[in-house]
A = this chain, B = another copy of it.
Amino acid sequence: MTPKTPLFEKLALIGIGLIGSSIAHACLRGNLASKIAIATRSPETLGEAERLNLGSSYHLKTEEAVKDADLVIICVPVGAYETIAKTIAPHLKEEAIVSDVGSVKNAVIRQMKPHLPENIHFIPGHPIAGTEYSGPSSGFASLFDDRWTILTPLKDSNEKAVQKLTQFWEGLGSKVDIMDANHHDLVLAITSHLPHLIAYNIVGTADDLEGVTQSEVIKYSASGFRDFTRIAASDPTMWRDIFLHNKDAVLEVLGRFSEDLAYLQRAIRWEEGDKLFELFSRTRSIRRSILEAGQDIDAPDFGRTKQKDD
């Protein structure tokens, strides 16, 4: 896990929120880069990163941070990628690997590829990990441990560069999968984007419902609702950008979701209990598979209910 010689001489992180700062922590833990340059356009955020001692140099200008970097990782909301690509392109080192952590991949390629020079290695990536918190102080070294990172190399991506980026993510604690950008965007639409949209939506519906006060929604939230409020507390800018940049796949899975929901609605209206029971039994077994795959803890209620017993 801890190589004697770091994999990279210089890592540049563009953006230092939850994911950027967690990469910095895990990179230090694994000794994966000799230097870490950190760039963000917000002086406050940069100051916070510096106080946390996350890097070896701190920059308000991205073009300064990427200078001489062997690995550049973009860790900002996906709406900002095109501007960044244009800005850094003339300053990239030859043979540098340029990657990112964005939750959509087709739109990232569309935005960046036309602006990047031919002599670098552009390999988009996406670590499937996170919490509902944001900002430099929300990051931690173990965020990627036992989670998956998906790389979506282009057809002409250099095999050695892909291998090196894979090693880097493994060094951060992650397992790595390779797939194409289209498939990534569909998989994430169902496993991540739709769940977030549904969570945001139900929290909004509850907030707007006449006849039930906000204080009642809050008091009785332990009956199920509170689970949704966690992911509905995720960063609004990041998530707005995700929905705008994975429109087709999100609309596709959302159509399926609504169709299935209409089926349940009809089953309730006509009191077809067997249809409900069949689905509710099937979903239980999917939960079991997730626990068996080590992708969630099996403690009741995510372990948050204290079980001091009698």
Chain A residues close to B by CB (< 8 Å):
25-26, 28-29, 103, 128-133, 138, 140-143, 145, 147-148, 150, 177, 183, 186-188, 190-209, 211-212, 214, 216-234, 236-237, 239-241, 243-244, 247, 250-251, 253-254, 256-258, 260-261, 264-265, 268-269, 271, 273, 276-277, 279-284, 286-290, 293, 295-297, 299-310
A284: B residues at CB distance < 8 A: 232-234, 236
Chain B residues in 8 Å Cβ range of A138 = 300
Q: How far is the CB of A83 from chain B (nearest CB, A)?
A: 16
Closest B residue to A141 by beta carbon equals B310
Known contacts A207-B283, A284-B232, A297-B304, A220 near B310 by CB under 8 Å: no
A243–B273 alpha-carbon span in the complex (Å): 9
Instruction: Choose from B192, B203, B222, B301 the contact partner of A220 (Cβ within 8 Å).
Output: B192
Q: Are A220 and B187 in contact (CB under 8 A)?
A: yes
> Is A293 within 8 A of B240, CB to CB?
no
Report chain B residues within 8 Å CB of A131: 300-301, 305
How far, in angstroms, from A192 to B224 measured CA to CA in the complex? 5
> How many angstroms between the C-alpha atoms of A223 and B261 in the bound complex?
22
> B268 to A243, Cβ gap below 8 A?
yes
Question: Which of B209, B226, B251 is the one whose CB lies under 8 Å from A268?
Answer: B251
Copies of this chain in its oligomeric complex: 2
Q: Check B133 against A209 for contact (C-beta < 8 Å).
A: no
Q: Is the interface of A mostly helix, strand, loop or mixed?
A: helix
Distance A286 CA – B254 CA, assembled complex (angstroms): 24
- Give min CB distance, A225 to chain B, whole Å: 4
Nearest chain B residue, comparing its CB with the CB of A260: B205
Which of B194, B198, B236, B295 is A218 in contact with, Cβ under 8 Å? B295
* Candidates B29, B260, B295; contact of A221 at CB < 8 Å: B295
Minimum distance in angstroms from A238 CB to a CB of chain B? 9
Contact between A208 and B240, CB atoms less than 8 A apart: no
> In the complex, how many angstroms separate the beta carbon of A135 from the nearest chain B beta carbon?
12
Asked whether, in the complex, the Cβ of A271 is within 8 Å of the Cβ of B247, the reply is: yes
Which residues from B are CB-within-8-Å of A211? 183, 186
Q: Sample 16 A-B pairs with CB under 8 A, ordered by A number.
A: A142-B307, A177-B219, A190-B205, A190-B217, A197-B264, A200-B264, A201-B260, A207-B283, A208-B260, A227-B230, A229-B290, A234-B280, A236-B284, A244-B273, A250-B268, A302-B303
Other CB < 8 Å A-B pairs besides A191-B220, A236-B277, 5 of them?
A138-B300, A143-B305, A227-B228, A232-B287, A239-B280
The 4 A-B pairs with the shortest beta carbon distances in the complex, nearest first, are A131-B300, A192-B223, A236-B280, A233-B287
